[in-house]
A and B are shown apart, each in its own frame.
Chain A
Amino acid sequence: MDLFDKFDELPGRYKRIVAQGRNPFGVEMEQITSPTQVVIEGKKTILAGSHNYLGLTFDEDCIEAGRTALAEQGTGTTGSRIANGTFRGHQKLEQKLGEILDLPTVIVFPTGYQANLGAIAGLAGSDDTILIDADCHACIYDGCKMSGATVVRFRHNSPEDLDRRLSRLGDENSNKLIITEGLFSMYGDTAPLKEIAEVKRNHSAYLYVDEAHSVGVYGARGRGLAEQHDVADDVDFVVGTFSKSLGSIGGFCASNHPKAEYLRYASRPYMFTASISPATIATVLKAAEHIAEKPELRERLWRNSEHLHSGLSELGYKLCSTVSPIISAEMPDQETAVRCWNSLLDKGVYVNLAIPPGTPKGECLLRASMSAAHTSEEIDQILEAYAAVKREVNKIRPDQ
């Protein structure tokens, strides 16, 4: 007997993958020279597999703000928000995000993962029912598990199915919390929020939207998909992250519920963890201002996404969604996916390899993500690499 016996199948699964070249889940980026350029294996590589949607990781204002906070307030808070880790910056950031999202309560967490864990486990209890989109992120599943609530999955992006499953629950005297995402991270597709909001109203449920990938990307003011679909008033809880558009690390839960502040005293992942460092707070605060004040970043991101999406379509790759900054190409099988992924990296392009159980329906994907910081030339280089890979692997055909 060994504690690790339960992982007996792990090496077998990874052996087939690493035998084709590298370990796709442990690529070391030796140097990070810009939001879109890194050095991997000593070679200049275009980064098309991060979530740096607005390219703010090297923004001069953000770096300067972080540097000042680091010098003035030190390296870390060394404490939790409720004990000794609430600095002026945390309050200012929550206020600023509240202004941007037009929501009175914002609670900041150390990561996006913890924001979902903390918000869901804080909001729902054993007498409540949560309905989640089947393709929701792992942290939403984990939050549901932690909450102890009754959890029902509804079919991905199907308001009809959600409606049916809510009706099936009958008149059970429990609160119902519907959870979905704005932009889904695997296919790059978006939730039909207008229709879901209607179902929510009909069943007097609460609506919780994880806008991790959509804040800064959708909506005239970058508030997210709910703003874009004009249903922000129907969303009771918005959760997001600082590690994508905002180029840093951390997460938040925002709400217009009058009692939302109670979460600060009910959410264990909020109470029992150290708060984010002053430098992190400062960079996020600056990046949040950019989201609100620089719509040109969003315009550039969408132009780039359109460029890569149309280019890959023309090459005959089967893409998983209409244009969005996440552009996933469906692969016929895992072996081809791993081979293409290795080949792209050989050609100086880093994308993400996505395989089950991280993907819906057991599919294998090559996932590229666009940034406002990509130049047109870089996107052409990415497309050239994809074209060469396609020639090598004649197995990928548009009819597949």
Chain B
Amino acid sequence: MICLQALPKRSIGIKRPVGFEHARQFAWYTGANLLEQFKQWTAPRPAAKFRGDMNSQKTDDPVFSKVCELLAPFNKDNVDLSDSTEITVDLEIDSVAVLDMIMDIEDTYDISIAMNQIAEIRTIGELVAAIHQLMGEK
């Protein structure tokens, strides 16, 4: 059982009403048991997907292209990928899948990206920069 983390570290960016509106929606305080809370849950508005900033895309960077290629199978909603795309948040990839993808990157560029380092990488741009840095160190 791997279970790195069951859920994304951050919420998908929907601003909740201040106070306990959402709490009442889940019936935290009505005495319903957890099973009922799950059943009563209604989906929030879908989060606005970050559509990317064309100016920040480095489409001529082969590393950026490779990362996008490896992320493609996870990009079910066809989110435009850019340097500022947050890998686990915008693409909703689970943490284990990200680590599997990192192994492919390591093999492609013959580098070693330690898990401790991966924990600090949030965006595609940060990942691309880390790959460049590690390749430069070789």
Contact = CB atoms under 8 A, between A and B. Distances in A.
Interface of A: 1-2, 5-12, 14-15, 18-19, 23, 26, 134-138, 141, 144-145, 148, 150-153, 155, 164-165, 168-169, 185-186, 354, 356-362
5 contacts: A6-B8, A6-B10, A134-B103, A186-B1, A362-B97
Contact of A18 (B3, B16, B23, B39): B39
Interface string B29-66: 00000110111010110000000000000000000000
Interface of B is mostly: loop
Interface string B89-124: 000001111011001001100111011100000000
Interface residues on B, range: 35 or more
Contacts of B16: 1-2, 5, 8
B114 A138 contact: no
A152 B1 CA distance: 18
B51 to A, nearest CB: 22
Given A7-B7, A9-B12, A152-B114, 14 more contacts: A1-B18, A2-B23, A9-B8, A18-B38, A134-B2, A135-B2, A137-B2, A145-B115, A148-B116, A150-B114, A356-B96, A357-B96, A358-B3, A360-B2
Interface string B68-80: 0000000000000
B5 interface: yes
Contacts of A168: 106, 110-112
A12 B107 CA distance: 36
Interface of B: 1-12, 14, 16, 18, 22-23, 26, 34-35, 37-39, 41, 43-44, 94-97, 99-100, 103, 106-107, 110-112, 114-116
Nearest to B20: A2
Interface of A is mostly: mixed
Nearest to A6: B11
A135 B4 CA distance: 11
**10 nearest CB pairs, A to B:** A11-B41, A151-B115, A138-B3, A14-B38, A358-B1, A150-B114, A358-B3, A357-B94, A15-B38, A168-B112
Contacts of A362: 94, 96-97
Contact of A153 (B5, B6, B12, B99): B99
A304 B75 CA distance: 44
A358 B106 CA distance: 24
A8 B39 contact: no
B17 to A, nearest CB: 10
B97 A6 contact: no
Contact of B1 (A7, A10, A185): A185
Contact of B99 (A14, A15, A134): A134
Nearest to B115: A151
Contacts of B96: 356-357, 360, 362
Contacts of A2: 16, 22-23
A375 B102 CA distance: 46
A6 B2 CA distance: 21
Contacts of B4: 138, 141, 357
B95 A357 contact: yes
B114 A357 contact: no
A148 B96 CA distance: 19
B12 A136 contact: no
A168 B134 CA distance: 12
A357 B3 CA distance: 5
Most buried by B among A144, A151, A186: A151
A378 B99 CA distance: 41
Contacts of A165: 106, 112
B1 A6 contact: no
A217 B7 CA distance: 34
Given A137-B1, A153-B115, A358-B1, A10 B7 contact: yes
A26 B11 contact: no
A336 B36 CA distance: 22
Most buried by B among A2, A136, A360: A2
